[in-house]
Amino acid sequence: MDLEAYFLKTLQTSGVTWGIGDDGVLLPPCRGVVCALDIFAQNVHFKPEWLGFERVGYKAMVVNISDMIAMNATPKSALLGVSLDRRMDKSAIRALVTGLKRACKEFHIRIIGGDTIVGDSLHLSITMLGTTRKPLSRKGARLGDYIAHTGTLGQSYKALCALLRGGKPSPKSKFFTPRLKHARFIAQARTFLHAGLDISDGVLAECNRLSECNHLAFKLYKPYERAFKSGEEYEMLFCFAKRDYLALLRRARAHRVRLNLIGKVCRGQSRYRALVWHKN
């Protein structure tokens, strides 16, 4: 059973939620303010011996920034909740803070509050706050739209498989250090995009999500591509009208972003067998 999916579905039917289902939520009383939260948990999302504490800090922050980019929002500030592993020493804590600082400096973010406790493992919960003039939602796909993603996929899956076998994948892999080179491209391309999200659980899983949101099938030309199972890629997956393909391609090239056309929006529903990416 996918406990995460069951929990979210049960919570949504409780009658006390609003806006759940997107990468972030646009707050109605505060025009243009976007809020998103992600948890980065030891032995679920990472192992310290795989990443090192500096990369843990950097990646925890960047995966939240990716949600802001997915909503076409500019991240501004963050609330940080941390459960520190009681076995961590001062050098580990300094490395963790160095990673958080590096991400904040790179994307011009301030940590404005939060909470810290000590427990049996390391968990980071980050609430990201940002602003947008024209948000991008998961809803809005239209029949006949092209489906595309930015960048190249498969590095994270390859690195994870190597680590599980006891190997040592390249430290340049996106599994260790996500790269969000497409941020400016998404901002420039927003006018043409109908719906989108970041690829955190793999293309197959994200197509299933988009299909459910839009009540349309996200039909992939090559659904058995191994790379489409790869989660934690943090590239963008989106759909747009066929007539806008060349305009988007020009903007992608101008920002040195690779644009990959992978499918089409059709009638029906997508039910791809996706890899359950985050599990312990």
pLDDT exceeds cutoff 70 at 102? yes
Alpha carbon distances (Å) from 158 to 75, 168, 201: 30, 11, 14
Question: Model confidence at 16, in pLDDT bands (50, 70, 90)?
Answer: very low
Which pLDDT belongs to residue 265? 98
Tell me the per-residue pLDDT of 207-223, one tens digit each, with 9 for 90 and over: 999 999 999 999 999 99
* Of 15-19, 44-48, 80-84, 272-276, the least confident: 15-19
Query: Averaged over 14-26, what is the pLDDT?
Result: 61
Mean pLDDT (whole number) for 219-244: 95
Distances in Å between the Cα of 217 and the Cα atoms of 74, 150, 203, 222, 232 are 30, 20, 13, 14, 23
Which residues does 14 contact at the CB level (< 8 Å), separation at least 6? Answer: none
pLDDT band at 258 (very low <50, low <70, confident <90, very high): very high
Q: Write the DSSP assignment of 189-254 as a string of letters.
A: HGGGEEEEEE-SS-HHHHHHHHHHHHTSEEEESSTT-GGGG--S---EEEEE-GGGHHHHHHHHHH
Are 207 and 275 within 8 A, CB to CB?
A: no
State the angle between helix axes of 90-107 and 53-70 in degrees (0 to 180), rounded to the nearest 10.
30
Given a contact cutoff of 8 angstroms between Cβ atoms, the answer to whether 104 and 112 are in contact is no
Decide: helix, strand or coil at residue 3. helix
Q: Decide which of 25 and 197 is more confident.
A: 197
Residues in the chain: 280
Model pLDDT, residue 25 = 66
Per-residue DSSP letter, 120: S
How far is the C-alpha of 207 from the C-alpha of 212, rounded, in Å?
Answer: 9
Q: Residue 184 above 90 pLDDT?
A: yes
The pLDDT tens digits of the residues spanning 32-65 come to 888 899 999 998 888 888 889 999 999 999 999 9
